[in-house]
């Protein structure tokens, strides 16, 4: 488990396991309204233990996915994922994450992104990680900026979120030779 201090909270990430399905289903169900404006519309099965177990099992079989749970003070508090992992000369992945409402604004997402970047660059040898946010999701943009991401574009109608095709701001961070993956910038 990769741990990063985030204020008084002990935040860590670890690879997701099939036996996380019940905890994830309960956490997602409790945060369904909170996550709705930022997520695609989900089938009812998504919110169940069986649905989460299937998602996890499918992810763990994909060589292009590196799924993690975010653990705060010993309890699952969200997910952070590297997807679309491409090897060869590209060595890149896409980042996605969410945290429970009670963890929002407490440095948990920032710490989890820092930890997954450390894993991406040191354990998995990636060169680049990209992420996209809804144009009005300033909090998520700040999480990315604190972790060294720079804005590089705007993708019109990029993802179908909350039932509508939405524009996204695109960010990337490179594994530069002089990049230190330590505590994120708290500015």
In whole angstroms, give the CA distance from residue 72 to residue 64.
Answer: 26
Nearest to 172 by CA among 143, 142, 148: 148
In whole angstroms, give the CA distance from residue 74 to residue 70.
Answer: 9
Question: What is the Rg, in whole angstroms, of the alpha carbon atoms belonging to the chain?
Answer: 16
Domain ranges for the chain: 2-174
- 92-138 confidence digits (pLDDT tens): 999 999 999 999 999 999 999 999 999 999 999 999 999 999 999 99
Both structure tokens of 57: 């099992």
- 129-161 confidence digits (pLDDT tens): 999 999 999 999 999 999 999 999 999 999 999
pLDDT above 70 as % of the chain = 90
State the DSSP code for 7: T
Confidence of residue 1 (pLDDT cuts 50, 70, 90): low
Which class does domain 2-174 fall in? alpha beta
In whole angstroms, give the CA distance from residue 141 to residue 121.
Answer: 21
Task: Say what the pTM is.
Answer: 0.90
- Pairing of the two strands 150-161 and 164-174: antiparallel
Q: Please, what is the Cα angle at 171 between 57 and 135, to 5 degrees?
A: 95
Instruction: Check residue 186 and give its pLDDT.
Output: 44
In whole angstroms, give the CA distance from residue 162 to residue 165.
Answer: 8
Looking at the predicted structure, is the pLDDT value of residue 62 above 50? yes
In whole angstroms, give the CA distance from residue 87 to residue 104.
Answer: 33
């Amino acid at each position: 488990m990769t741990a990063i201090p985030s204020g008084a909270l002990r935040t860590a990430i670890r690879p997701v396991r099939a036996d996380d399905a019940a905890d994830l289903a309960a956490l997602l169900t409790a945060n369904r309204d909170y996550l709705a404006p930022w997520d695609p519309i989900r089938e009812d099965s998504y919110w169940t233990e069986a649905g989460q177990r299937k998602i996890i099992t499918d992810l763990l079989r994909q060589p292009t996915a590196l799924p993690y749970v975010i653990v705060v003070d010993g309890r699952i508090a969200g997910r952070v994922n590297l997807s679309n992992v491409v090897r060869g000369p590209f060595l890149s992945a896409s980042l996605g994450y969410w945290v429970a409402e009670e963890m929002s604004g407490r440095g948990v997402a920032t710490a989890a992104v820092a930890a997954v970047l450390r894993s991406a660059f040191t354990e998995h040898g990636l060169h680049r990680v990209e992420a996209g946010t809804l144009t009005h999701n300033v909090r998520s943009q700040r999480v990315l900026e604190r972790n060294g991401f720079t804005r590089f574009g705007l993708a019109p109608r990029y993802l179908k979120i909350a039932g509508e095709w939405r524009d996204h701001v695109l960010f990337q961070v490179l594994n530069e030779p002089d990049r230190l993956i330590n505590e994120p910038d708290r500015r």
